Amino acid sequence: MIISSGSVIIVLLVSIVVITTISTQTFMNTASAVATNTNNTSSPSHTMNIRSNIQTDFNPNATYPKISKFAYIDPFALVIGDCEIGKLVLVAPFAVCRGDEGIPIHVGDYSNMQDGVILHSLETTSHGKSLDDRRYSAEGVLLKANDTGFKNGFAIYIGDKVSLAHGVQVHGPAYIGNDTFVGMKSMIFNAKIGKRVAIGVSSTITDGITIPDNKFVPPGTIITTQAQADALPSRIGSPYEAINSAVLHVNQELAKGYNAQTIQRLATEMEDTLEQEEMLQTGSSTGNPDAGVAGGQ
């Protein structure tokens, strides 16, 4: 069978239109979920990229994410289940907050999840029973199952003004204190990171250790003992001393800018819809019932 070049071009054009339509619809669904609620958090979303978890024996409740209306969730990011996203948080393309196993996951105000960041955690309960050492309090205390604060704890707690750079993986139980920078391709699992810490690119921190406040983790460092953590140099005077301030500024500006685009687009669509409805009601191409009558008579 011979296929003409014209037929191939038509098929390609149809494919492009379909893909563009799907991408646009995904963007608008996400924008609507983030920007249409007057409360501080968005209403439950039924979009593909913002949705509830499924019910399991370790997580029997289906929970929708709690997202500040001032956060920006990229259409190609995923926020699933019991995730809390604070204000002016940027969740960049292909970043994932998956609150469907260990829950809840908290991302504080003014923080950012850059491209490819993954947040996920070990289960915090099993068959209705809480599990030891699977949640942190908001103050950074690792909780036992019988602790009265366990029910209010977090499988992953990301504080305020935290930068998770491209490709970072944080797997709970994990805690990251305020104003901390985590460099590209780094991994944190079963660990607590203090406040104002700077973690160099491609570092690994695990095995239940705690990084004290104001420390610098040089690029490529693997930390598996508390002695290694305690011996780390100060962030002050390190090459990463001021990196988080600059990164926070950029990502907060992006979050505000993308939200402005979303709100403007929604406003334009609402105006167009109202205009179309008025034209239908009046039978006039302008929406003015007297437009077709000479002299307005």
**Domain-by-domain residue ranges, the chain?**
28-282
Low-confidence residues in the chain, pLDDT < 70: 1-46, 262-267, 281-297
**DSSP state for residue 211 in the 8-state scheme:** E
Burial of 217 (0-12, 13-18, 19+ CB in 10 A): buried
Q: Are the CB atoms for 102 and 56 separated by under 8 Å?
A: no
- Residue 123 annotated in active site: yes
- The confidence score (pLDDT) of residue 16 equals 36
- The confidence score (pLDDT) of residue 13 equals 41
- The confidence score (pLDDT) of residue 265 equals 67
Structure tokens at 285: 């191409």
Query: Which has the closest alpha carbon to 261: 108, 34, 12?
Result: 34
Which one of 123, 139, 269, 277 is the catalytic residue?
A: 123
Which one of 84, 101, 139, 253 is the catalytic residue?
A: 101
- The confidence score (pLDDT) of residue 232 equals 98
For residue 231, what are the contacts with CB-CB under 8 A and spacing of at least 6? none
Task: Kindly report, residue by residue over 197-219, the tens digit of the pLDDT.
Answer: 999 999 999 999 999 999 999 99
- The confidence score (pLDDT) of residue 35 equals 37
CATH 2.160.10.10 is held by the domain 28-282: yes
**DSSP state for residue 219 in the 8-state scheme:** T
- The confidence score (pLDDT) of residue 15 equals 44
